[in-house]
Structures are given as C-alpha cells and as structure tokens.
Amino acid sequence: MSTTALGQFKITETDGLEVFSLVDNSVDYLSTIDKKEAHSFRQWTKKRNGQEWAWDNSQLPFAEHGFSMLIRVLRGRKSVTILFDTGISADGVVENTKRMGLELNEVEYIVLSHGHYDHFGGLVSALKTINKSNLPLIVHENMFKTRGNANTDGTIRTYPKFPAKEQLGSAQLINTKQPYLIGDGTILVTGEIPRETSFETGYLLHRTLTDGIWQPDPLILDDRAVVFNVKGKGLVVISGCAHSGIINTISYAQRISGIINTYAVMGGFHLAGKGYENRIDQTTKELRLISPKLIVPSHCTGWRGMCAIAKALPEALVWNSVGNLYEL
C-alpha cells in the first residue's frame, strides 16, 4: 500500500476540462440540468450543431451496466484526451462515441480504474478504433488475475477475464501501483488508495484465483481514480467504482497533491448492494464536509446512495446520464 507523502505529486494546473459520459447505467434525454458546468446530451449537441437531434433510437447513445468517460484536459491552445474505463460490452463505448459525434482516435492515454469486467469490457474494441502504436495503457498487475464472487452456497461465480496481452495489440502497458502523472503532469492517476476510514471496509465475497486456489480479495487494491487541478477551482476527482471508498479516494487525492479544495467529485461511488449500503450515511456526512461544488454519482452508486447524496448536497448534485457533458 502506498505511503506517499503530503504534496509529493504536484498536478499542473489546467485551464479547464471537458468530461463526456460515454457509458453509465442510465440515460435521461428529457430532464433539464440547471448547473452551468453540466449539459445534457440534448443541450450540448444542439448548441454545437445548431439544431435539435432527431428522435431516432439508432442515433442515441445507450446505457449499460458499466462506466466510461472521455476527458479532454485543456491548457492554453493544447489539449490532452484520455479514455477512463471502457464499459462492459465489447462495442458499447465505441458505438456511443460515434452516436455522440466524438472521435476515439483523439485519445492519447487509456486509464483503467480497476480490473472488473464492467470497466474493461470495451477495451479491445477501443484500442482497435483508436489504432495507435504504443498507446499508453495505465494498468495494475492485479487486473490480469482471474476474479470472481463467492456465492452463499460456497461456489464461485467467475468474472469475465481481462484481455490477454496479445489482444491488446501494440498498446504500451504501464503497470503501476504508485501515483503516476501523465499528460505533461496535468493528470494524476492515484495508484493504490490506502483504506483509512472506519466505515469504508472491503467486500468479503470478492475472490481472486491464486495458485489454483480462490483467495479472498476484499480490498481490490488495483482500484484507482484520476485527479485534475483546474485553475481557480481546485481538484476534480473521478472514480471508476471507488472500491477503496470515495472518501478514502478524495482524502488520498488531497494528500498526495497537497490541494485540499475539491471542486468536483464524479464517477461510481459503490454504495449499492447489501455489502455497501451501510456506509451511505457516513459517506454523505463526509461529503458534506468536503463540500464539492459539483457531485456526479454514477454507475455503482445505486439509487439509495444517489438519493441520500441528493438530499445532503442538493445544490451540487447532477444526476448523470449517458451523453452528459461537464465543462469544468
């Protein structure tokens, strides 16, 4: 587990971010969004295209149980684009990108939050579509392990396997447990996140196959987030599932960057399911203390967690939909 010192990783300030929700569990093409930083698919496509899009399901991005965001980091006249996670289905992230009028070949890095199949399912298709030699792919050694979940009868439900290295083509695998800066220092991949809060404990039913034996894997140490430092605002923290706990994630990002002010928190917070719902109350209390100006719970946060966050931080919350654009 990392013991990185306070402020050891200085994140270069960005002028802003564009964050596109490519894959998430839900879509909402009707509801309005009042916050100036957040725009529905209907709002931003009309603004950029100058016309309403057609109500044609074959042209609308779709939801699936998974997570992916396309993130443009803006600095002066330059930009860096990363793909953070790739959803669950083989082609969902590629198809949604097309339907949103975006180009995957602008991606300069792929960062995976952790090695569960609802976050790497579209990886092979994304790499083929991006079609770049030596594209940096930020991974963790645990992502390549066989994983599963213990059933109540003692059997194991095996998860889909992470793609074999030969399926990843010419991607440049960057395997790191420690915090890692990319994009000229504008993007911080947290590396392994210490589990320090009393309530964000692991999930006892997770398993990893080690030397032919299914072993408990409650902490899921490969869980990471990406962090940005937006000029005049502060940190933007984006998690995939936050298996390490969203409060642990934010606290660690603050510690290693040396920046306390947290402007936005986005992504999966993993507050869904019997093994996680008991942490909802304490999580929302801590989120109120952190007091982000924008909070976008997604994917595995679950309806109970989302409703609690909406009650605790009503002015900050945006209910995410596939197709949303966040301009930070």
Task: Provide the mean pLDDT of the chain.
Answer: 95
Residues in the chain: 328
8-state DSSP, 38:
E
Confidence band for 3, pLDDT divided at 50, 70 and 90: low
Q: Is the pLDDT of residue 52 over 90?
A: no
Mean pLDDT, rounded, for 233-240:
98
Q: Is residue 10 part of a domain?
A: no
Quote the pLDDT of residue 53. 64
Q: Residue 280 has which token pair? A: 């909802």
Q: What percent of the chain has pLDDT over 90?
A: 90
Q: Is residue 36 part of a domain?
A: yes
Domain with 149 in it: what CATH number? 3.60.15.10
Q: Is residue 8 part of a domain?
A: no
Interstrand relation of 147-150 and 156-158 (parallel, antiparallel or unpaired)? antiparallel
Q: Is residue 141 part of a domain?
A: yes
Cβ-contact 314, 288 below 8 angstroms = no
Q: Residue 93 has which token pair? A: 């992230």
What is the per-residue pLDDT across 90-121, written as a single tens digit (0 to 9) for each? Answer: 999 999 999 999 999 999 999 999 999 999 99
Quote the pLDDT of residue 205. 92
Structural domain including 194 reads 16-327
pTM of the model: 0.96
Q: How many CA atoms lie within 13 A of 263 on its CB side?
A: 17
What is the per-residue pLDDT across 263-275, written as a single tens digit (0 to 9) for each? Answer: 999 999 999 998 8
Q: Which of 90, 24, 16 lies closest to 269, judged by CA?
A: 24
Number of DSSP helices (H) and strands (E) in the chain, helices first: 7, 18
Confidence band for 1, pLDDT divided at 50, 70 and 90: very low
Q: Is residue 11 part of a domain?
A: no
Q: Is residue 3 part of a domain?
A: no
What is the per-residue pLDDT across 114-136, written as a single tens digit (0 to 9) for each? Answer: 999 999 999 999 999 999 999 99
Q: Is residue 4 part of a domain?
A: no
Cβ-contact 235, 293 below 8 angstroms = no
- What total of structural domains would you count in the chain? 1
Cβ-contact 94, 127 below 8 angstroms = no
Interstrand relation of 136-139 and 109-111 (parallel, antiparallel or unpaired)? parallel
Quote the pLDDT of residue 58. 77
Q: How many CA atoms lie within 13 A of 44 on its CB side?
A: 20
Q: Is residue 9 part of a domain?
A: no
8-state DSSP, 240:
S
Which residues does residue 111 pair with via DSSP β-bridges, in sequence order? 84, 138
